[in-house]
Amino acid sequence: MKIALVGIGKIAVDQHVPAIAGSTDWDLAATVSRHGKVDGIEAFTDLGAMLDARSDIRVVSLCLPPVPRFDYAMQALKAGRHVMLEKPPGATIAECHALEAAARRAGLSIYATWHSRHADMVAAAKEWLAGTALRALTVTWKEDVRRWHPGQAWIWEPGGLGVFDPGINALSIVTEILPDDIHVSEAELDIPENCQTPIGARIAFHHPGGARIGAVFDWRQDGDQTWEIEAQTDVGTLRLCEGGAVMEVDGIRTGDAAPLDGEYPRLYARMAQLVRKGEIDMDLRPMTLATDALALGRRIPTDTFHD
């Protein structure tokens, strides 16, 4: 199937383009970006122009920041194209529901992707936890924003999510591996004096079984980056490290892979499956937890941030 990639930034170049190139399901037929291009691929600077010129392209994959994503996605749906959304799927829950409703009315597929759910050890962790009684779960997600999001000012503006942009990856794993749904009970948010979104967060969650669940997100990490989830249960302790690429049970490693290895190819395989079956995948639980933390969180002013 022919696909167009919209928004040719770092994540598109590093992950989306190689995943499409390595897939037997997809043919990257066009790009849309004001600045970026992919060598050898027809490039447009306007989505409407691409949709008008390339009626043969059935699917549009959006790698834009979350705030403009709704308008682009709705434009593609109205043009009869299936839509794939980079995480988070939008700036608000309501607009994501509107996109899903539009896709259903048009008989089109739409996919809210969560790449961290496709890390190598996430499925194994979900299976292991299914037969246990959870006692506690701790998420530690700390990285250096300057390393991973250099010069991306939109993350500090309303709708940009701040530290929840990477933190939502952790929430996507947690909502996938836990048998029971959780919700935010309280949060603290570190907001730089010159920003609209948090650079750090501490969150407590309610678990229906009474397990203690908490998360710490921080974008000020120097040195080693930390992406870990530890679950204490009645039969032992499970740890997911490196964003879900490594799994340990009671300190014994049961499998591992390189971080991000295979995640984006699996997203595109899932999108191909949805299009062929005429289905929709719009799980918004990770975004619900993130936006609820932003709604409930107590704001704590902190030092100004300069990239």
112-122 residue pLDDT tens: 999 999 999 99
Q: Report the first-to-last Cα separation within the chain, whole angstroms.
A: 40
Q: Are 36 and 64 in contact (CB under 8 A)?
A: no
99 pLDDT higher than 70: yes
Q: Which pTM does this prediction carry?
A: 0.95
82 pLDDT higher than 70: yes
Cα–Cα dist 85/61, whole Å: 6
Which residues, listed in sequence order, are joined to residue 192 by a DSSP beta bridge? Answer: 302
Cα–Cα dist 277/242, whole Å: 33
Q: How high is the pLDDT of residue 157?
A: 96
CATH topology of domain 117-258+291-302: Dihydrodipicolinate Reductase; domain 2 (3.30.360)
Cα–Cα dist 46/32, whole Å: 6
Number of Cα atoms under 13 Å in the Cβ half of residue 239: 12
Query: Among all residues, which ones are annotated catalytic?
Result: 87
Longest Cα–Cα distance of the chain, Å, equals 59
CB-count burial class (<10 Å; 0-12, 13-18, 19+) for 76: buried
261 pLDDT higher than 80: no
Q: Name the CATH superfamily housing domain 2-112.
A: NAD(P)-binding Rossmann-like Domain (3.40.50.720)
Cα–Cα dist 141/95, whole Å: 27
Q: How high is the pLDDT of residue 260?
A: 61
Residue ranges per domain, the chain? 2-112, 117-258+291-302
Distances (CA, A) of 210 to 137, 171, 232, 303: 11, 19, 13, 36
CB atoms under 10 Å from CB of 228, counted, come to: 18
Q: How high is the pLDDT of residue 257?
A: 66
Q: How high is the pLDDT of residue 131?
A: 87
Mean pLDDT of 66-88: 97
Output the average pLDDT for the chain.
96
259 pLDDT higher than 80: no
Residue written as token pair 């962790």: 125
Mean pLDDT of 281-307: 97
Mean pLDDT of 272-292: 98
Cα–Cα dist 266/185, whole Å: 33
Q: Are 187 and 201 in contact (CB under 8 A)?
A: yes
